[in-house]
A and B are shown apart, each in its own frame.
Chain A
Amino acid sequence: MDILAKERKVKELEKQISALGEGEVVEKLKKEIARYKEKEMTRLTAWDRVLLARHGQRPTALDFIQYMSPDFIELHGDRLYRDDPSIIGGIGTIDGVVFTIIAQQKGKTLEENLERNFAMPHPEGYRKALRLMKQAQKFGRPILTLIDTPGAYPGIGAEERGQGHAIAQNLLEMSEFNVPIIAVVIGEGGSGGALALGVANKVMMLENAIYSILSPEGYASIIWKDANMAPKAAEVMKLTAYDLKEFSIIDRIIMEPLGGAHFDKLKTFQDTKNAIMEEFSKLRRLSPTELHYLKNNKIRNYGFLQRFNYDNLGGIKR
C-alpha cells in the first residue's frame, strides 16, 4: 500500500467520524487515527516520497512566495524571444531583506498546467532567469530560487532555440556570481532543468522533495527497459533528501508535517522561511570574495572517485 492509498484511507475515516458528531467515542477514534498516521506515515519509501513530491495538492512555488514575500513583484520576459510562464521571477522582500526570487511554477488544475507547461521550462525561461540573476548581481541583491520541475522541456522549439546552451550558460554564470544564492527544492528536482537554478551557496530540500538525474520512470526504461519498474528505480537511484544530505550534495533538510506538505501548508511555509532566513543570516556575514570562493570550492568537490596519482612522474607518452 503506497502513501496515496493510506492518505485516502485516513481522509475517508476522518469524514466518517466527523459525521458522528461529538462524544467520548469520537475522541477515542480521533486518537486512533492519529496513532495510525504516526505509525504508517513516518517511515516512507523512496517511491512514497516521489508520489508526495508530485502530489496534486502540494503547495506550488507561488504559494510559497505569497506567504514568504507578500509584496512580490513579478517581472516578465527574457528580452530575446518571449516570456516563459513555467519559470516565474521577480523581486520581493522576505523579513525586510530584498531578494530576487526565481521559481519553477506548476499549475494546480489541468488548464493551469497546460499554460505553465507542467513546469517544464523552455530555453527562454532559463534566459529570463539569467537576466534577472544578472540584475541581482548588479545591485548586490541576494538570490532565492525555488526548484520544482520534472525537467527541461524536450521539444522541437526548445531544441531549435538551444536548450542545452541555455542551461550551460546558467551553470557557468551562476558559479561566477558573488551575491548569496540560496536554492530550495520544493517538489521535483529533475535533471539539468533543476540544476540550472540550483548552483547555489546553500542548497536545501523539503523532506519529501526529490532531486535526481532523471525521472524514476526514465531510469527504469533505460536500465531495465520497463517503465513500470519505477518504484524499484526510485529505491535504487537515491533521490530522497536524506540520501542527498548523506552525500553532502545538499546542505539542509526542511522537515514537513506528517503525511506531506499539503496536510499543513502554513507550517511548511513558516519552516521554509525560517530555514532560508537562518542560512541567509550566515551568508550575509561573508564578503563577496568569500561567497565566490566557498561556492566554487563546494562545486569543485562534487564527485565520488578514487585516484592513484601518476602526475609527479611526468605523464605518459602515447
Chain B
Amino acid sequence: MTNIANTLHKRKRIKNDLRIVQEQSSFIKAQKMDVPEGLYEKCPSCNRTVNMKKNIDNDYICKHCGNHFRMRAIDRIRYIVDEDTFVEKGLGFITLNPLFQDGYEEKINKYKKTTNLDDAYIYGYGTINGQQCVIGVMDSYFLMGSMGSVVGEKVTKSFEYAIYKKLPIIIFTASGGARMQEGIFSLMQMAKTSAAVAKLSRMGLLYISVLTHPTTGGVTASFATLGDIILAEPGALIGFAGPRVIEQTIKQTLPEGFQTAEFMEEKGFVDKVVHRKDLKKTLAKLLMFHRRHA
C-alpha cells in the first residue's frame, strides 16, 4: 500500500517539476529577437548600413553583398527545424570553475542572462521537412561559442542520443575553439567528442556537420571536421589557427579569401558551400537519401 502511495506521490512531484520547466520554456519562447523599426547596423563585410529588422526578415543576410550574419542558436533552430517540432534535450548542465579563474563565473552568468542558454550549445529532437533527426547548434554569442566541459559533454550527449534513437544527427558549429578558462579540461573535450563521433560511425548513422562563421581552433580539430558530409555557409571563417596567430607566426599578411568556406571547398575539406536560403532544402534532401527502409 505504501508503495502505491509512494509512486503516486512521486508522479505528482514529477508532474510539478515538468510544469515548472514548461513555464520556464515558455519564457524562453517569448524571447524572440524583437528589434524596433528604426535600428541600423553595419555589415562587417561591405561596411554599408542595413536595417536590422529588415535584415532579420531576410534571414540575416546582407541585402547589399549577401554576407551571412551570425545567428543565435535559437534563431537557427527556428529557421531550420519545422515549426513546433523541436524538443530540447540535455538540460540542467551547470558550468563550474575548475581552475578558480577570476571573473569566470560572472562572465558565464552574464552570458546566461543575455542568451538564455545553459552554455554555448543546445541540442534536441526535431524534424526537417518531415524528416526526423537530432539537431545540435552552437551559439557564437555565448563567450564566442567556446568549448568547455559543458559544451563537450552536451555534444557527446547529443551523439549518444542519436545512437539511442537511431537517428541521423546534424550539428551547426560556430566556435572560437576550446575555452581557455577551463584549461586542460577543455582540451580533453576534443578527445571526448571525437570518440563520440567514432561511436556513432560504428553504429552506421549519418552525421552532417554544417560549418558556420566562425569555426576555428579546437572545434575544427575535433567533431566539426569529422562529419560524413561537411557543408559550410558562404564566407564563413574556417580554420585551425586564427588568422591573427598565423600572421604573427609567419610575419606576412595573408592572401585575400584565406580560410573562408570557399577556400576550404577548393582545398577539399568541405563537401559543399550552401547558401543559407538553400540550406534547409539541402539538408532535407540529404536526410532523405539516407532514410532507412524499415
Contacts and interface: CB of A to CB of B under 8 A. Distances in A.
Interface of A: 152-156, 158-165, 167-169, 171-173, 175-176, 191-192, 195-196, 198-199, 211-214, 219, 222-223, 236-239, 244, 247, 249, 296, 299-300, 302-318
A313 B183 contact: no
Interface residues of B, number: 76
Contacts of B17: 310, 313
A300 B192 contact: yes
B99 interface: yes
Interface string B243-286: 00110011000110011000000011100000000000000000
A164 B88 contact: no
B240 A172 contact: no
B203 to A, nearest CB: 13
Nearest to A315: B87
A313 B225 contact: no
Closest 10 pairs (CB-CB, A-B)? A154-B241, A164-B220, A171-B194, A302-B188, A164-B240, A175-B195, A308-B92, A303-B149, A304-B98, A163-B240
Contacts of A211: 184
A70 to B, nearest CB: 33
* Secondary structure type dominating chain B contacts: helix
Nearest to A151: B241
Contacts of A160: 267
A156 B258 contact: yes
Contacts, number: 215
B182 A304 contact: yes
Given A249-B185, A302-B188, A303-B152, 17 more contacts: A153-B249, A154-B240, A156-B246, A163-B221, A163-B240, A163-B241, A167-B190, A167-B222, A171-B195, A172-B194, A222-B180, A300-B195, A304-B96, A310-B91, A315-B88, A316-B24, A317-B87
Interface of B: 14, 17-18, 21-22, 24-25, 28-29, 74, 77, 84, 86-96, 98-99, 101, 124-125, 149-150, 152-153, 156, 178, 180, 182-192, 194-195, 197-199, 201-202, 217-218, 220-226, 239-241, 245-246, 249-250, 254-255, 258-259, 267-269
